[in-house]
């Protein structure tokens, strides 16, 4: 395996956990915000350096030249590859945006130390290639929202039970696969248990209630950072996709499709802003899973592209909702609030994020959405029609929320509600990402296509022939050999 020229990956993983210790002993909320923001900016720069370094190698995977995590995780466990390279910078950007725009009214209660710890665990998860360590890291990351819920005096048992069930199924299934070496009926049962555990982690129906409850009870920033990076989808790609039979992948896709339709229907009738956002997140996660389980290069490319584009759009919407809540408290979608006159910049940002999220032409979500629809139609025509229906429902629900929050009689205000300087900076950054990603989509789509091709080449389907014929006339070569280029 090739080596990067620097130790950017290890540095990006280490910086947040060191800062978490420092922030934990700082009493002043302003200083906690400053230290966290500077650390997250440094982490983002390190991930970008690792990405550019990796691209320069022209390889599918590599690791740092100086791997000081090796004594804990072993050799070549933490790597950067075609799939994870943009995800490092993606999650670092999400964390930086959420922390920087934390409203002043919420800074004293926001768990900065837990957030920094969560980023370290998430970066480790993205880079981890060893299933056992992936399971341990997933368990540790699941514990952090429980800690916050307990500190806020909220009911935490409901969330914890679902995560424990998910981990239990993944652990049992992984043990069965290791014992049977995936060569028997029991191996297929083990893969099915792992898939079920990850479906719970993704929030698919009927296990979606923990996700809705988390957005209701936890801070919005914590809920966004726990759900939007789509760790469950990462688990599906790392643990299930390489070895699962076609039946398991088809089952995940059908459950995801049902979840996406259900979430879209619930979205258009919500009167609670938090629940509206939770169902929007759930619908987008389900669409990504549909693409990832298509087992075609077009579908995988669309799913991987939507993973990033929908994350950008969702965090953009979350920033607006969080900013509005920081100024006027939680708002209801049962009436019109008329906030456009008080915060036109946030209103425009919200509308752009909505258009990007539904794949409007000229935005970052357009090409990924088109690829997903194209792949779905090739599988079954009704699947493509349902995907289009989900996108339409998401758009209707999001535009309805826009009109309820920002239009209507002008709301009086005794204080300025204009965005703060850091909020303007983040808004400008995400607007650029959503627009430039739509105008110049080729770099992202090309990277996601190469990752999809390599995932298909490395897939080993149980009891399969050398070539697996896919719906739509595509054929993906199945190979267990790893390329070090």
Q: How do the domains of the chain map onto residue ranges?
A: 1-129, 130-244, 257-445
> 3-state DSSP call for residue 480?
coil
Q: In which order are the strands placed within the sheet that holds 80-81? A: 2-3, 61-63, 80-81
Give percent helix, percent strand, percent coil of the chain, each to the nearest 5.
70, 5, 25
Quote the CA–CA distance of 166 and 200 in Å, as a whole number.
6
> Once rounded to an integer, what is the mean pLDDT over residues 386-392?
89
Convert the pLDDT of each residue in 159-199 to its tens digit. 999 999 999 999 999 888 888 765 566 667 888 899 999 99
What token pair was written down for 255?
A: 């459950």
What token pair was written down for 443?
A: 């770099």
What is the pLDDT confidence band of residue 111, given thresholds at 50, 70 and 90? confident
* Candidate from 27-36, 448-457, 461-470 with smallest mean pLDDT: 461-470
* Candidate from 288-297, 351-360, 364-373, 476-485 with smallest mean pLDDT: 476-485
pTM attached to this predicted model: 0.87
* Candidate from 55-59, 113-117, 227-231, 301-305 with smallest mean pLDDT: 55-59
Q: Which residue has the tokens 């679902």?
A: 162
Q: How far is CA 389 from CA 280, 381, 394, 418, in A?
A: 14, 12, 9, 36
Quote the CA–CA distance of 405 and 64 in Å, as a whole number.
47
> Once rounded to an integer, what is the mean pLDDT over residues 350-354?
89
What is the pLDDT confidence band of residue 42, given thresholds at 50, 70 and 90? very high
Residue-level pLDDT at 286? 92
Residue-level pLDDT at 3? 60
């Amino acid at each position: 395996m090739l080596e990067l020229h620097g130790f950017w990956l290890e540095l990006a993983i280490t910086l947040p956990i060191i800062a978490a210790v420092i922030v934990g002993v700082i009493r002043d909320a302003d200083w906690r915000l400053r230290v966290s923001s500077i650390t997250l900016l440094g982490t983002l720069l390190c991930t970008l350096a690792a990405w550019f370094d990796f691209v320069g190698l022209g390889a599918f995977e590599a690791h740092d030249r100086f791997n000081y995590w090796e004594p804990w995780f072993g050799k070549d466990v933490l790597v950067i590859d075609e799939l994870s390279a943009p995800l490092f910078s993606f999650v670092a950007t999400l964390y930086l945006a959420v922390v920087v725009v934390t409203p002043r009214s919420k800074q004293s209660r926001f768990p900065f130390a837990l957030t920094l710890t969560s980023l370290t665990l998430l970066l480790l998860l993205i880079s981890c290639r060893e299933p056992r360590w992936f399971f341990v890291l997933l368990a540790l990351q699941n514990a952090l929202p429980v800690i916050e819920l307990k500190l806020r005096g909220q009911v935490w048992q409901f969330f914890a039970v679902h995560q424990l069930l998910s981990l239990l199924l993944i652990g049992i299934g992984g043990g069965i696969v290791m014992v049977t070496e995936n060569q028997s009926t029991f191996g297929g049962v083990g893969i099915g248990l792992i898939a079920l555990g990850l479906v719970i982690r993704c929030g698919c129906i009927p296990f979606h209630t923990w996700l809705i409850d988390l957005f209701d009870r936890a801070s919005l920033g914590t809920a966004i950072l726990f759900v939007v990076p789509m760790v469950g989808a990462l688990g599906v790609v790392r643990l299930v996709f390489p070895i699962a039979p076609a039946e398991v992948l088809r089952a995940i896709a059908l459950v995801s499709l049902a979840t996406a339709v259900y979430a879209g229907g619930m979205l258009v009738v919500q009167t609670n802003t938090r629940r509206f956002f939770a169902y929007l997140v759930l619908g987008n996660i389900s669409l990504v899973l549909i693409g990832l389980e298509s087992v075609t290069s077009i579908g995988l490319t669309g799913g991987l592209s939507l993973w990033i584009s929908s994350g950008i759009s969702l965090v953009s919407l979350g920033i607006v909702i969080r900013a509005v809540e920081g100024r006027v408290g939680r708002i209801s979608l049962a009436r019109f609030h008329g906030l456009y006159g008080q915060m036109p910049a946030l209103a425009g940002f919200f509308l752009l994020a909505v258009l990007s999220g539904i794949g409007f032409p000229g935005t970052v979500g357009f090409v990924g959405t088109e690829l997903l629809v194209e792949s779905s139609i090739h599988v079954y025509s009704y699947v493509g029609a349902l995907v289009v229906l989900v996108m339409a429902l998401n758009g209707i629900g999001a535009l309805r929320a826009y009109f309820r929050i920002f239009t209507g009689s002008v709301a009086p205000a005794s204080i300025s509600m204009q965005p703060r300087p850091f909020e303007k900076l983040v808004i400008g950054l995400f607007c650029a990402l959503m627009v430039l990603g739509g105008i110049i989509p080729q770099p992202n789509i090309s990277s996601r296509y190469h990752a999809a091709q390599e995932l298909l080449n490395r897939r080993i389907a149980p009891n399969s022939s050398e070539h697996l014929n896919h719906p739509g006339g595509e054929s993906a070569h199945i190979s267990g050999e790893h390329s070090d280029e």
